Structure 1
Amino acid sequence: MREIDWPNAGYFICHCFDYFTELKGDRTYKDDQAVIGGIGRINEQFFTIVGIHRGKNIKENVSYNFGMPHPEGCRKSLRLIRQAEKFKRPMICLVDTHGASCDSDSEERGIAEAIARNLFELSSVGVPVLSIIIGSGNSGGALALVIANKVWIAEDAYYSVISPEGFAYIVWKDSDLKKKASEIVGKIIPIFSDGERNSSNFAYLREKLILFANEYLSLSEQEIINQRYLRYRKF
Structure 2
Amino acid sequence: MEYLDFELPIKELEEQLDKCKIIGEESNVDVTETCQQIEKKLAETKKDIYKNLTPWQRVQLSRHPNRPYTMDYITAICGDTFLELHGDRTVKDDKAMVGGLGKIGDQSYMFVGQQKGYNTKTRQYRNFGMANPEGYRKALRLMKSAEKFNIPVVCFIDTPGAYPGIEAEERGQGEAIARNILEMSRLKVPIICVIIGEGASGGALGIGVGDKVLMLENTWYSVISPESCSSILWRSWEYKEQAAEALKLTASDMKKLKLIDEIVREPLGGAHIDREKTFTTVKNKISAHFEELKKLSPKELVKTRMDKYSDMGVYNG
Tell me what 2:146 maps to: 84
Asked if structure 2 preserves the Cα contact closer than 8 Å seen for 1:17 and 1:206, the reply is no
SS at match of 1:136: strand
1:10 corresponds in structure 2 to 71
The partner residue of 1:54 within 101, 105, 116 is 116
2:259 aligns with one of 166, 184, 197? 184
Cα deviation for residue 152 of structure 1 reads 0.4
Q: Match for residue 228 of structure 1? A: 305
Tell me the number of residue pairs that the alignment of Structure 1 and Structure 2 aligns: 223
Structure 1: gaps of 5 or more residues: 168-177
Distance 1:183 1:200 in 2: 27
Q: Which blocks of at least 5 consecutive residues in structure 2 are unaligned?
A: 1-61, 225-243, 313-317
CA contact (8 A) 2:185 2:210 kept: yes
Look up the equivalent residue of 1:9 and give its one-letter code. T
RMSD between superposed Cα atoms in Å: 1.8
- With normalisation by structure 1, the TM-score equals 0.89
Contact 2:130/2:163 (<8 A) preserved: yes
Pick closer, same or farther for the CA change 1:98–1:220 going to 2, 3 Å. Answer: same
1:166-188 C-alpha deviation (Å, 9 max, x unpaired): 68xxxxxxxxxx78863312222
Q: 1:199 aligns with which of 251, 255, 276?
A: 276
Structure 1 Cα separation of the partners of residues 306 and 285 of structure 2:
22
Shift of 1:217: 2.2
Work out the CA distance in 2 between the residues paired with 1:111 and 1:48: 23
Mapped contact 1:138–1:161 kept (Cα < 8 A): yes
Matched, 1:30 2:96: no
1:57-103 deviation per Cα after TM superposition (whole angstroms, max 9, x unaligned): 11111001110000110100010110110011110000111110111
Retained in 1: the 8 A contact 2:255–2:261?
Answer: no
3-state SS, counterpart of residue 24 of structure 1: coil
Aligned pairs (5 A) from 1:97-108: 97-108=159-170
CA distance in 1, matches of 2:247, 2:194: 24
More strand by share: 1
CA distance in 1, matches of 2:254, 2:85: 40
User: C-alpha deviations, 1:13-54, integer Å up to 9, x for none?
Assistant: 111223210000000110000001000101101000101010
Q: Are the counterparts in 1 of residues 255 and 263 from structure 2 also a CA contact under 8 Å?
A: no
- Letter of the 2:187 counterpart: V
Quick check: 1:164–1:181 contact (8 Å CA) kept in 2?
A: no
1:234: Cα distance to partner? 1.6
**Structure number having the greater helix percentage:** 2
Query: 1: distance between equivalents of 2:298 and 2:110?
Result: 16
Tell me which residue corresponds to 1:123. Answer: 185
Q: Secondary structure at the match of 1:17?
A: helix
Which of 211, 216, 219 aligns to 1:149? It is 211
